[in-house]
Structure 1
Amino acid sequence: MNNQRILLSLFAIYLVFAILLNSVGTVILQVINSYGVSKSAASVLEGFKDIPIGIVSFLVASQLPRFGFKRAMLTGLGIVTAACLCMPLLPGFWTAKLLFLCVGVSFALVKVAVYSSIGLLAGDRKEHAGMVNTLEGVFMVGVLGGYWLFSAFIDSADPTSTAWLNVYWVLAGICALAFVLLWTTEMDESGTRVDGDSPLQEFFAMLRLVAKPLVCIYVISAFVYVLIEQGIGTWLPTFNNEILKLPAAMSVQATSIFAAGLAVGRLGAGAIMRRMHWYPVLNSCLLAMAALVVLTLPLADNVQANPEINWLNAPVAAFILPLIGLFMAPIYPAINSVMLSSLPKHQHSAMTGLLVIFSALGGTTGSLITGSVFEAYDGQFAFYLSLVPIGMILLSLYFFRRAVERDGGADFTGVAASAPH
């Protein structure tokens, strides 16, 4: 089994889904302009993506070792390739809903398979943490590239134009290339399931994981984190357009700063985590996030529209606020690696399924709350509200650390293991 080729395939798959999953904010802005959809109606696109992720993960995560991780990833790539082709061929708001429905179903299969495959490749916990951080860093590179890819097809001079739909021809081609790369890559999936267990036994084994205090606190932490990330990331293009008065294409491009911060933070987090305990690092990041929100949002007050706006005279808030991604970056990979490296390999699929379920619920909740507040009040107030979940995750991480120190010293099959750091 060629580990480097498998990692390349996993990175390529995650890159594809990074662009598609995080295009929600851009597509929300475009369907509002192109199809005359209201903000509250457009916000359901997040739900069309995240709810299927949660449902499919709940139903199939425990069964993926039986189905096969490679087969699951190929299935997901095939579905999204077809969905991308539908966007320019059958333009309409309903097609956008269909796209994100397909993306959600596919990502549920892909994320569980990708995370579980890392467990097959990593030799120890440090290597596991490094791979997870690199994978999530590649994901954010895809997000960053996606913003610029979409902005290249947006016609700022004509907000109602549907020329942006042509980006999906390119995305369909990228999906097809990732499919071929994985299809031609050999994977050894032995050791991923317990022999003799029935599908029903495997499903209930996944549910029993939630009863563990460590797992319960972990999924709450993941839920709150994704609520923050999606609430900000999904609505930042609209914030840039309506509050900071940037043109549509520039609004999307400015959001790439947020993705760049996440990418740099996650790619660099592996080196930091090898030298420092994860808990003080994450607490420092959360406090920096809160400080950035409090100090930056006043700079967005009363911004006047400027027909000659460019990168040299854009409001300073357009450059500073997205830097919250830099401090947000290490949180998600760190808690995931701490949790997964505490478990035997045959439980990685079920645990990743729980992670995907609660991450999906958090993403939908964050987008809907931010979109509703954005419409009822304004974008500044909606972003100020991010201070509430930041405080919540500070509290949840305190209990997560205590649970790791208490319960993380043994895996859930009773075999002794050292606590991860």
Structure 2
Amino acid sequence: MTNPGSQASGKRRILLALFLIYFMFAILLNSVGTVIMQVINNYGVDKSSASLLEGFKDLPIAIVSFLLASSMPRIGYKRAMLVALGIVAVATLAMPLLPGFATAKLLFLCVGVSFALVKVSVYSTVGLVADDRKQHAGYMNLLEGFFMVGVLSAYWIFGAFIDSASPASTSWLNVYWLLSAMCALTFLLVLSTRFDESGAAPVASQGPVQDFFEMLRLFLRPLVCVFVLTAFLYVLVEQSVGTWLPTFNNEILKLPAAMSVQVTSIYAFCLAVGRLSAGVIMRRLNWFPVMIACVLGMGATILMALPLSHGIAHDPNVGWSSAPLAAFVFPLIGLFMAPIYPGINSVMLSSLPRHQHAPMTGLLVIFSALGGTTGSMVTGYVFGRFDGQLAFYLTLVPIGLMLVGLTVFRRQVERSGAGLAPQAAGA
């Protein structure tokens, strides 16, 4: 007979491993904005070319998720996590050893491939350790909140290695020695942790090909279709802001390079606070009005902050106390963004049986990756050809479409009979 205390201890160790994996990949994934700024300064890369780094990160996520998500239960979640951590541990070592724009592309390609394996595995493992829908949603909010703590940490970790006095300095590449060591330690934790994956066992009569077509058939369901398109729009906006905010701070708000990265941490802090507190808020309120209020808040923040960014003169002595007001107002959009992604994900996943969590997460990862690439490349193009203000004003278009998507999503949830979805979203 299994000891309940031993079971609880095992669950806590699994959750610790999942949180640390997500923390690690949060740093790597969301360093792309900082790396874009640095390759522009170090290697003379233009903005449109630098924005391709987002594609090198996101397209492999989409492709690998499309090909492997449905087979992940057969591959094994723990095995996939170990492979992913091993890949990025080696790739991060290449950055200081072989500095160059090509190496940066290779790094983000490896990060993208690895994150596809990690996200499907981590989301699916949450479904295995959660006892009910309320607990599932609580873990999802904590997981995504911990992800944003990693994003927040990334700005300060990278900022500590950037030499603002010498924009052409490559001292920032030394951060990758630290990141490689962190990957290796996380690998050892996962390796020594026991995962019970029996609850995700695929249907015995099906093979990998049947699993793949089952994932595609999921997309044909109206509820799933509306969900992934809404997630696409959300990630488009989040990555547009997160990727280009350091460059916006540097070029439009005239902040020093290191400070431009560190100020962006306010955005990550707002996302972290919002996601960690989302469960408490939506435990008392229905998920749909909270989502709508958040989307409206995102639009209002943009309309309030961007007019403050015009006509700012260069000040060589600018510091935290003298920075433009826009540097502190615009990142507050993260507070309104925060509850949306974990909220709609939990509504969707908790309405499906556990063996469908991997293919459903695969679809989510595919459209999230495509949304991130689209947002970053469009914003980068407009930023380079016109200006940063117009680039961020254009995010109002997908924000408006998100209002429509959420409304249709709620109707589909009600029609599908997912009666516990409101609880799952915020409990």
Query: Which residue of structure 2 aligns with residue 71 of structure 1?
Result: 79
Query: Which residue of structure 1 aligns with residue 4 of structure 2?
Result: none
Residues 119-138 of structure 1: pairs in structure 2 closer than 5 A: 119-138=127-146
**Is 1:327–2:341 an aligned residue pair?**
no
Query: Which residue of structure 1 aligns with residue 152 of structure 2?
Result: 144
What SS does the corresponding residue of 1:274 show, helix, strand or coil?
Answer: helix
Conserved 8 A contact 1:116-1:352: yes
TM-score, length-normalised on structure 1?
Answer: 0.97
Number of residues paired by the alignment?
414
The separation in 2 between residues aligned to 1:317 and 1:405, in whole angstroms, is 41
The separation in 1 between residues aligned to 2:297 and 2:76, in whole angstroms, is 41
Query: In structure 1, which of residues 176, 196, 211 is the aligned counterpart of residue 205 of structure 2?
Result: 196
The separation in 2 between residues aligned to 1:420 and 1:252, in whole angstroms, is 37
Query: Which residue of structure 1 aligns with residue 97 of structure 2?
Result: 89
Query: In structure 2, which of residues 407, 422, 427 is the aligned counterpart of residue 398 of structure 1?
Result: 407
Query: Which residue of structure 1 aligns with residue 298 of structure 2?
Result: 289
Do the aligned partners of residues 214 and 241 (structure 1) sit closer, same or farther apart at CA in structure 2, a change above 3 Å counting? same
What SS does the corresponding residue of 1:152 show, helix, strand or coil?
Answer: helix
Conserved 8 A contact 2:348-2:421: no
* Cα deviations by residue, 1:98-128 (Å, 9 ceiling, x for unpaired): 0000000000000000000000011111111
Tell me by how many angstroms 1:274 deviates: 1.1
Q: Which amino acid aligns with 1:181?
A: L
Residues 295-314 of structure 1: pairs in structure 2 closer than 5 A: 295-314=304-323
Query: Which residue of structure 2 aligns with residue 251 of structure 1?
Result: 260
**Is 1:6–2:7 an aligned residue pair?**
no
* Cα deviations by residue, 1:392-411 (Å, 9 ceiling, x for unpaired): 001000000000011143xx
Tell me by how many angstroms 1:273 deviates: 1.4
Conserved 8 A contact 1:126-1:274: no
The separation in 2 between residues aligned to 1:6 and 1:155, in whole angstroms, is 38
What SS does the corresponding residue of 2:161 show, helix, strand or coil?
Answer: coil
**Is 1:366–2:368 an aligned residue pair?**
no
Query: Which residue of structure 2 aligns with residue 103 of structure 1?
Result: 111
Q: RMSD between aligned alpha carbons?
A: 0.8
Query: In structure 2, which of residues 341, 348, 351 is the aligned counterpart of residue 342 of structure 1?
Result: 351
Tell me by how many angstroms 1:196 deviates: 2.0
Query: In structure 2, which of residues 37, 40, 46 is the aligned counterpart of residue 29 of structure 1?
Result: 37
Tell me by how many angstroms 1:253 deviates: 0.2
Where does structure 2 lack aligned partners over 5 or more consecutive residues? 1-6
Conserved 8 A contact 1:46-1:367: yes
Tell me by how many angstroms 1:97 deviates: 0.1
The separation in 2 between residues aligned to 1:232 and 1:116, in whole angstroms, is 28
TM-score, length-normalised on structure 2?
Answer: 0.96
Where does structure 1 lack aligned partners over 5 or more consecutive residues? 410-416
The percentage of counterpart residues that share the same residue type is 68
Conserved 8 A contact 2:287-2:422: no
Conserved 8 A contact 1:219-1:355: yes
Do the aligned partners of residues 317 and 186 (structure 1) sit closer, same or farther apart at CA in structure 2, a change above 3 Å counting? same
Conserved 8 A contact 2:65-2:366: yes
Tell me by how many angstroms 1:252 deviates: 0.1
Q: Which amino acid aligns with 1:367?
A: S
Tell me by how many angstroms 1:203 deviates: 0.6
Conserved 8 A contact 1:15-1:139: yes
Query: Which residue of structure 2 aligns with residue 412 of structure 1?
Result: none
Tell me by how many angstroms 1:420 deviates: 4.3
4+ residue runs over 2 A deviation? 417-421
The separation in 1 between residues aligned to 2:172 and 2:363, in whole angstroms, is 35
* Cα deviations by residue, 1:115-143 (Å, 9 ceiling, x for unpaired): 00000011111111110000000000000
The separation in 2 between residues aligned to 1:94 and 1:147, in whole angstroms, is 23
Tell me by how many angstroms 1:53 deviates: 0.1
Query: Which residue of structure 2 aligns with residue 388 of structure 1?
Result: 397
Deviates more, 1:3-12 or 1:120-129: 120-129
The separation in 1 between residues aligned to 2:237 and 2:149, in whole angstroms, is 19
What SS does the corresponding residue of 2:405 show, helix, strand or coil?
Answer: helix
Conserved 8 A contact 1:408-1:420: no
The separation in 2 between residues aligned to 1:226 and 1:194, in whole angstroms, is 32
Tell me by how many angstroms 1:186 deviates: 0.2
Tell me by how many angstroms 1:212 deviates: 0.1
Q: Which amino acid aligns with 1:316?
A: L
